[in-house]
Structure 1
Amino acid sequence: MHSIKTVAVLLFWAFGLSALAASHPGNYNSNSLNGLLSDSIQLTEKDIGDFTAIAFGDRTAATTSQQEQQRCRVFPGDGLWPPTEEWTRLNNSLDGVLLRPTPAGAVCYPEHPAYDAARCQFLLQDARSTRFWLDDPLTELAQWTQGGTCLATNQTQAQEKNCTRGGFPEYVVNATTAKHVQVAVNFARNKGIRLVIKNTGHDFGGRSVGAGSLSIWLHHMKETQYLPSFSIGNYTGMAARFGTGIEAWEVSNFMAEHGGITIVAPGGNTVGGVGGWVGGGGHSVVTSTLGLGADQVLSLGVVTADGRYVTADPFTNTDLFFALCGGGGGLSANHPFSPFEATYGIIVSAVYKAHSPITLTSTSLSLTLSSASIPSVPTTGAVVVRTADAFWTGVGLYYRFCGRIIEGGGGQGFSYIYPQADGGFRFTTTSTFLNRSRDEVSQIMEPLYTSLRHAGVLTTADANPATRNSSIYGASRRSGTGDQPVNTRYRSRLLPRANWEGDTRWDATMAAIRAATEAGYDEDFYFHATLTSPTREVAGWPGADNAVNPAWRENLMHAMLMDVQPDNWTGQQARNRDARMQRYMSLLRDVSPGAGAYINEADPGEPEWQQAFFGSNYPRLLEVKRAWDPWQLFWAPTTVGSEGWEVEAVDGYPNSQNGRLCRSAKR
């Protein structure tokens, strides 16, 4: 077993952020519970004593009538909001890991008690190259979800804004054990307080923030264990057990430490590798060969809404296991690639399949639409085209070719189309193949380049680039620095393989992509597409029978419009923009009727989201939700069972979490 990492308690600034970390002596017992020390430390009746605020719940006794008595979650300032003395007692029950952090950007506001010009300068210039934002207990990397209050900004802009708490939680539990999670769950449920879950803040849907909430911060639950032989049901082979706070770069380093084994993990270094990424499906560069992240799960350690710790696997609590693997939420693992809080229970640990080493070989292509005098550089895959029709012909040839290739032999196509200053566009893509030599990749790609030459997009005979990267997927060590808050909104569609069948439907698909993307020149957004084919056959056991959106099983292209909004927009400006973006997205929906979208990289304002995010699985998932969370404690926008509640936002931003969570008048 990997040595248990010492919980790093944050370095809190002089403006009042403080915490105490609990340590737990003793050696790991391989026979204890789910195998991790953090799982084995659980809440007991002795711990509860006479502090009924942290007592366990009874799912069989919870009734709808009891819940109807409270229209909104208890909010700061309400008569039912716990007094300071009760929060102090909660902190004692939590071994001193309860935080009440100040928003990081407060140091930039001269009128705020936390003002610190030097610290503000660090946030504006240097923090992006460090772990600061990722290790901050409040920060969510999409600023609009919190209401855009108290941004790190220059002094001139700070004088025009107010620094308020906005959608940030009131209190944060820096959880390092199952007990910490259990205590927080019980307190929030018994007190009627909104509960949110957070890891690194890679959340672009507003699911790990919430005004007036108690947040469970799982960021420091990073234990790992290599299992050279693991058997359950139809699976026998290598496996790995991870704490829920593990990030992709740490998974990568774990693979390298164990001989380059393969564990399906997110592509972004600091994306959480457990929880929300799995809850939404979780795609990666090896998805077309090994399946989605949700397809890798063999067992889960979970804290449910009654505060109990349970194991969920294909033979134990099978309905819960089904729902957590792809059904919309185990926790906020935080990613553009994995964003939401618990829906059925909070995953505190997971056992994943581990595979033999895999070689990745990649090749790139770039097309630039420009009338300027820019030389072609075919040896690096960069080609300049002079007409829009030629440019879009080239884009279409690549997408159709790549879709057929990944479906037949695995791999991934990863691409962007960016507006350019001269009115043109730049298309960049990387094609990655598994267990193929450089010569084999060259042979695979040559038909594409032949087609591009025949179409007049390319004019050189050597346009198939000779330079490629080849490496072992699990052999590279990665680092976990970088990332900062932005104002990006994801809007997406899973385009099915049926769109690749027949010229008429394909031409309509490309016409929709072109029209939506060309609108981005004036509107300042761009197109992003990931091509993968995670079929049921690839998913294997037990993944083929999990709750992954059925649209994923038919997918060839995960198509996204990436909308970056100005920080200073009003709520009305954001609503106007949202209406326009919905029109552009409707072009992609119209050419893929009955398909869906990937909840981890999607718009929380997606129309008919139940079908788009969950498809035919929704009725079954709703039954699981009602059975395991009759209190509706676990709530996040567009997750299963969330229809009965809504945030009464005070800032006017679409889907902002800056307001009370109350029962919806529309239900």
Structure 2
Amino acid sequence: MWPGSLFVAAVHLASGVQGLAVSSRDVLNDAQLTSEAIGDFAAVKFASATDTVSSTSGVDCKSFPGDESWPKETEWSRLNKTLGGALLNPLPPASACYSTSPNFNAQTCRFLLDNAGSTSFYLDDPLTVLTQWPQGNTCLISRNPTGNCTRGGFPVYVVNATSVKQVQAAVNFARNKNVRLVIKNTGHDFGGRNTGAGSLSVWTHYLKGFEFLPNYKQPGGNYRGPAAVVSAGLQVWEVFRHAERYNVTLPAASCLTVGSYGGWMTGGGHSPLSSKFGLGVDQVLSLQIVTADGRYVTADPKTNQDLFFAMRGGGGSTYGVVTSAIVKAHPQINLTIASFNFALGKTASTTPGRDVTITDLETFWRGFNEVFAFGVPTADAGGYLWTYGIPTGENRYQMQVQVQMPGLTPEEAAAFVQPLLHTLNDLGIPVAITTPTTSVYSSQTGSTGGQPANGYFSSRLFPRSSFENATLFSAAMTAARGTVEAGYTFHGLNMAPTLKVAGYPAPAGLNPVWRDVVMHADVFARINMGTLTPAEGAAEQRRLDGYMEPLRAATPGGGAYLNEADVLEPDWQHSFFGSNYDKLARIKRERDPWHVFWAPTTPGSEAWAVRTSSELPTQNGRLCRV
């Protein structure tokens, strides 16, 4: 059953809005919510420091559609007026495939199935999340779907935010009416932090402001040099386009359609430049934030220091809504990549020299170990070792390798990788490389692609000791081999985002183990959670967790990457935040006593839980106090 559709929006907004750029004066001095705009509409008034937590005091759950406390349509209509018509009540795109849906359209369904993934459709959709199972799998795209498409964990209303004023109004309305609030940009989150049943969503995707500041001097701070004002909705490809225009480097996520200055940054944010310039959190000089009381504030090393600390790695959707940031602009840099593959058994296609096939099992795994051993010298030289260990069936495996070296020429990169090639050749793996490819880091293009998937995975951060201690390294490689032989894909990313390369400003709220990390690894299950029952999905999660335990044992003092992790990660407080957790939880309590912001596995989230009958932690249920 669908809620009232006061402001039914087109499922797909006009892509022409994408790429819209405004100046920093618009970004920093954006129209804010005023007392005149609030008028007598108490539902969008600000909270004050002396307010009691009246909207949630004594209430066990967030208001839910059908409750007597759920806002009336007249209130939603008035909110829409305050927002200037930015309130959407969209249906899930896949509803076009269900004959029982009011949105049924066979032609649209065919487009979703056959063509949408090669466009920006899903990235520009107000509801779509690219990992579907946390939503509850209640409206999956299918040529011949069975059952009904229901809203499930999708929000009821969405604010298409293009101004600070609209974000403020949404936050105030959610707080004052005790409605669950979620924040979404492009939908790249893997753990359901951008969706929630019975919620109001702040959609930051069209906050697209940018301005280059060639001689920025931080007020009261220690930075002077090139910088940029960037809005939270900018995707990586848009960031790169601006960086190319001004001949600078703005480190951003590896996936070109991720929004870099929202979830990527607030979770830490790694990239091929992490060993050169640090993590995403290390680029930030100032943040502009709408806090839980609805105020628009600046956070930097001198002002609102608690927020500046917490929102740089301490978790998104927790302390406030980032609308924009001021970030460092580095000199333009090339990214040079030397790549090769080797496989055990036959592969579908090979390139002579670069792709080779061997037949001895133990030789393959010795080569696997030697590649990872090369990860520390790569990271220490400012590089990024990108690897995949892939099961290809029938006891066959493939190793894909890219040695990514920022700032090196092709000749320098070729010379750098030669010791690894010699070691592998001596083992009987005759890999070679042609001239490494090189291009300006920010010259990568690609604004399309990306469609909903339904996988499950876990991750691990490997401290330096797990590579430099021979016993731990052997145990780690044995555990990694165990995951691949069990049918999982092992994806390694060697980097060293130390405090030295991070530079000013520090500290940040991310897990301190990141400063000692030499590898972040993902372990991907080769399953489709959309084809499994919740019980089967939970069993698959437990199986994967069993294979993660040896990796955890071999990486004492390690952790897991908040942005790429199992939401059922054991002891997630320590794994995701380390020794910073207690401080982050305190900041959360102080900054958000109303519990406006909530997302799974973020500081303070233990106080609430989604009530659902599923064995998996989906967002398809009412959010209630624990």
The letter of the residue matching 1:531 is N
Question: Which residue matches 1:465?
Answer: 433
**CA distance 1:386–1:135, change in 2 (3 Å):** same
Question: Which residue matches 2:178?
Answer: 192
Deviation at 1:489, TM superposition (A): 2.1
Question: Which residue matches 2:423?
Answer: 451
Question: Which residue matches 2:368?
Answer: 395
Structure 2: 5+ residue runs without aligned partners? 1-6
The letter of the residue matching 1:358 is I
Deviation at 1:477, TM superposition (A): 5.1
Match of 1:300 among 287, 296, 300: 287
Match of 1:356 among 331, 338, 354: 331
SS at match of 2:563: helix
Deviation at 1:59, TM superposition (A): 3.6
Match of 1:383 among 336, 356, 372: 356
**CA distance 1:418–1:112, change in 2 (3 Å):** same
What are the residue-to-residue correspondences of 1:167-316 with 2, within 5 Å? 167-232=153-218, 233-259=221-247, 261-316=248-303
SS at match of 1:601: coil
Measure, in 2, the Cα distance between the counterparts of 1:549 and 1:18: 37
Measure, in 1, the Cα distance between the counterparts of 2:13 and 2:123: 17
Measure, in 2, the Cα distance between the counterparts of 1:519 and 1:532: 26
Matched, 1:411 2:374: no
Preserved CA contact (<8 Å) 1:147 1:653: no
Preserved CA contact (<8 Å) 2:9 2:89: no
Preserved CA contact (<8 Å) 2:8 2:89: no
Question: Which residue matches 2:511?
Answer: 549
Measure, in 2, the Cα distance between the counterparts of 1:295 and 1:193: 34
Question: Which residue matches 1:9?
Answer: none
Preserved CA contact (<8 Å) 2:534 2:615: yes
Question: Which residue matches 2:573?
Answer: 610
SS at match of 2:260: coil
**CA distance 1:162–1:399, change in 2 (3 Å):** same
Deviation at 1:150, TM superposition (A): 1.2
Measure, in 1, the Cα distance between the counterparts of 2:390 and 2:121: 29
Question: Which residue matches 2:30?
Answer: 40
The letter of the residue matching 2:623 is L
**CA distance 1:374–1:356, change in 2 (3 Å):** closer
510-519 or 633-642: bigger deviation: 510-519
Question: Which residue matches 1:589?
Answer: 552
Deviation at 1:499, TM superposition (A): 1.1
Deviations 1:280-323 (A, max 9, x none): 11000111010001000001110000000001011111111011
Deviation at 1:551, TM superposition (A): 1.6
The letter of the residue matching 1:82 is P
The letter of the residue matching 2:402 is T
Deviation at 1:39, TM superposition (A): 4.6
**CA distance 1:14–1:208, change in 2 (3 Å):** closer
Measure, in 2, the Cα distance between the counterparts of 1:373 and 1:361: 26
**CA distance 1:136–1:368, change in 2 (3 Å):** same
Could you tell me the TM-score, scaled by structure 1's length?
0.89
Preserved CA contact (<8 Å) 1:175 1:181: yes
Question: Which residue matches 1:333?
Answer: none
Measure, in 2, the Cα distance between the counterparts of 1:348 and 1:374: 46
Match of 1:111 among 81, 100, 103: 100
Preserved CA contact (<8 Å) 1:246 1:273: yes
Deviations 1:442-476 (A, max 9, x none): 22111111211222333xxxx431231011213x1
Preserved CA contact (<8 Å) 1:20 1:96: no
Matched, 1:628 2:601: no
**CA distance 1:39–1:194, change in 2 (3 Å):** farther
Preserved CA contact (<8 Å) 1:287 1:534: yes
Question: Which residue matches 1:335?
Answer: none
Deviations 1:17-71 (A, max 9, x none): 59999x9xxx98x8xxx633475200011111110000101244335x8744110
The letter of the residue matching 1:355 is H
Measure, in 2, the Cα distance between the counterparts of 1:623 and 1:51: 32
Matched, 1:481 2:481: no
Preserved CA contact (<8 Å) 1:133 1:483: yes
Question: Which residue matches 1:3?
Answer: none
Question: Which residue matches 1:513?
Answer: 480
Match of 1:655 among 595, 617, 620: 617
Preserved CA contact (<8 Å) 2:455 2:529: no
Question: Which residue matches 1:598?
Answer: 561
Question: Which residue matches 2:3?
Answer: none
Deviations 1:578-630 (A, max 9, x none): 11111011111111122111100011111100000000011111111111111
Deviations 1:328-347 (A, max 9, x none): 12xxxxxxxxxxxx211110
**CA distance 1:349–1:66, change in 2 (3 Å):** closer
Structure 1: 5+ residue runs without aligned partners? 1-12, 330-341
Preserved CA contact (<8 Å) 2:386 2:402: yes
Deviations 1:470-519 (A, max 9, x none): 11213x15121110000022310001110111322211111011112211
Measure, in 1, the Cα distance between the counterparts of 2:260 and 2:434: 34
Preserved CA contact (<8 Å) 2:184 2:203: yes
Measure, in 2, the Cα distance between the counterparts of 1:655 and 1:591: 27
Match of 1:135 among 124, 132, 138: 124
Pairs aligned (count): 613
Deviation at 1:631, TM superposition (A): 0.9
The letter of the residue matching 1:440 is E
Deviation at 1:374, TM superposition (A): 8.4
Deviation at 1:16, TM superposition (A): 6.6
Preserved CA contact (<8 Å) 1:368 1:427: yes
The letter of the residue matching 1:442 is A
Question: Which residue matches 1:425?
Answer: 397
**CA distance 1:388–1:455, change in 2 (3 Å):** same
Measure, in 2, the Cα distance between the counterparts of 1:218 and 1:377: 43
Preserved CA contact (<8 Å) 1:361 1:469: yes
Could you tell me the TM-score, scaled by structure 2's length?
0.94
Preserved CA contact (<8 Å) 1:17 1:99: no
Deviation at 1:405, TM superposition (A): 2.5
Measure, in 1, the Cα distance between the counterparts of 2:588 and 2:347: 59
**CA distance 1:16–1:288, change in 2 (3 Å):** closer
What are the residue-to-residue correspondences of 1:12-161 with 2, within 5 Å? 35-37=25-27, 39-63=29-53, 67-155=56-144, 158=145, 160-161=146-147
434-443 or 39-48: bigger deviation: 434-443
Deviation at 1:574, TM superposition (A): 0.8
Preserved CA contact (<8 Å) 1:38 1:178: no
Measure, in 2, the Cα distance between the counterparts of 1:647 and 1:449: 51
Preserved CA contact (<8 Å) 1:59 1:628: no
Deviation at 1:373, TM superposition (A): 9.0
